Amino acid sequence: MPREPILSAESIEAAAPASAPSRETLARLRDDEIALRPRHMGEMVGQRKVAERLAIAVDAARKRKEPLGHILLDGPPGLGKTTFATCIPRDLGVALQITSGAVLTAPKDLLPYLTNAEEGSVLFIDEIHRLPKAVEEFMYPAMEDFRVDIILGEGAGARTVNMKLRPFTVIGATTRTGLLSAPLRDRFQIREHLEFYSIAELSEIIRRNAARLRVVIDDEAAEKIARCSRGTPRVANNRLRWVRDYSTVKANGHASLELTDAALAMLGIDELGLDPQDRKYLETILRVFHGGPAGVEAVAHTMNTATDTLTDEVEPFLLRSELVVRTPRGRKLTSKAYEHLGETPPESEPELPLFQ
């Protein structure tokens, strides 16, 4: 079992609560983005099974008057992890603190949040997979026993004191669960994975948010945006904001299907939701590598793009849309990709043996 780190009194002084980033700074979101987020889990569209399970946990904690168990939310970006993390404390009627694993570089950075946590409050740590090892180990006793270890004095006369914390709930959000250590994962009593949204769910989100943004949108236009949003509410909201801007200039704020088609075409968004970079990726494999297989690094160099950009931003949606497959020899276009690009797929060739 990993050794639990301890914190010195000098570190505590250096990490006085006054020096901690303000809640407003860490939760800096645009006003319209805040307005588009549901305030309670009952208002959320999609992720219903997750919401139902979390609602039971929230109700049980409220009835027992106990802190909610620690929660880990994972899934691709833009599916509602932050929304859940902000709705849960509202449903509980408790305070919320927000921070990110990227800014917690040492245990002293985490200490103000732990000591300021109110009874039953929620500490939301976004990108929790980016916590350094020392900070992660410092959290173990705080999450399990609601205490932190502090060293008083120096040398042979130094002694360790356990500082008790008020019971609180940690909500962690991550897009890469595999990067979390097993000891940290095991300290979350509730673990939920968020899935992509259906066209019907995204259409409903778009209609609701269009009313909040004071734009009139036809049902066909809402469905069009939904089909071009990659199954992700964040993408849908961004597309909606662009259609709102376009309709404000071109049609006095009325988003019809024809106008929505024109607005998305101006962004280079096609009927599958692919943007210019997605199509460039497919066209590069088709034109330069004759449909593949091709290594992702070779494709990235040809496109003059970072490999991480392709693997993290471009490929996930293309793989999920069955436009590209990963083979042991590299990326390869599917017949669906050829059809989307208006090309005829080549006749299937027998697989060549791989050389070891």
| In a shared domain, residues 316 and 210 | no
CA pair distance 153, 111, nearest whole angstrom: 19
246 within 8 A of 263, measured Cβ to Cβ: yes
116 within 8 A of 18, measured Cβ to Cβ: no
Q: Is 81 a catalytic residue?
A: yes
Examine residue 249 and state whether it is found in any structural domain, yes or no: yes
Domain count of the chain?
3
| In a shared domain, residues 177 and 212 | no
> 289-317: per-residue pLDDT in tens?
888 788 889 888 988 888 888 888 888 88
| In a shared domain, residues 209 and 72 | no
CA pair distance 286, 276, nearest whole angstrom: 15
**pTM > 0.95: yes or no:** no
CATH of residue 316:
1.10.10.10
Instruction: Give the type of residue at 262.
Output: A
Domain encompassing residue 20? 7-193
Q: What is the pLDDT of residue 329?
A: 87
Examine residue 121 and state whether it is found in any structural domain, yes or no: yes
CA pair distance 80, 192, nearest whole angstrom: 12
Q: Is 326 a catalytic residue?
A: no
Examine residue 31 and state whether it is found in any structural domain, yes or no: yes
Name the residue with higher pLDDT: 146 or 30. Answer: 146
Other beta carbons within 10 angstroms of residue 56's beta carbon come to 10
Examine residue 349 and state whether it is found in any structural domain, yes or no: no
| In a shared domain, residues 217 and 312 | no
Cis previous bond, 293, omega within 30: yes
Examine residue 302 and state whether it is found in any structural domain, yes or no: yes
Examine residue 346 and state whether it is found in any structural domain, yes or no: no
Q: What is the pLDDT of residue 346?
A: 78
CATH of residue 50:
3.40.50.300
Which entry of 74, 91, 126, 278 is annotated as an active-site residue?
126
Choose the weakest-confidence range: 119-123, 228-232, 311-315, 346-350: 346-350
- Indicate the average pLDDT of the chain: 83
> 253-284: per-residue pLDDT in tens?
788 899 999 999 999 998 888 989 999 999 99
Which one, of 173, 168, 170, 169, lies nearest residue 192 by Cα? 173
> 59-95: per-residue pLDDT in tens?
998 888 888 899 999 998 889 899 999 999 999 889 9
CA pair distance 5, 9, nearest whole angstrom: 13
Which entry of 115, 175, 177, 305 is annotated as an active-site residue?
175
Q: Is 227 a catalytic residue?
A: no
| In a shared domain, residues 180 and 237 | no
| In a shared domain, residues 60 and 115 | yes
Which entry of 108, 224, 230, 234 is annotated as an active-site residue?
234
Q: What is the pLDDT of residue 172?
A: 93
The string over 274-313, giving b where at least 16 C-beta atoms fall within 10 Å of a residue's C-beta and e elsewhere, is: bbeebebbbebbbeebebbbbebebbbebbebeeeebeee
Which one, of 84, 81, 150, lies nearest residue 114 by Cα? 150
> 6-47: per-residue pLDDT in tens?
454 444 444 444 444 444 544 444 444 557 788 888 888 889
| In a shared domain, residues 23 and 142 | yes
> 208-218: per-residue pLDDT in tens?
998 888 888 89
| In a shared domain, residues 215 and 311 | no
Which entry of 81, 207, 230, 244 is annotated as an active-site residue?
81
Q: Which two tokens stand for residue 222?
A: 């809402």
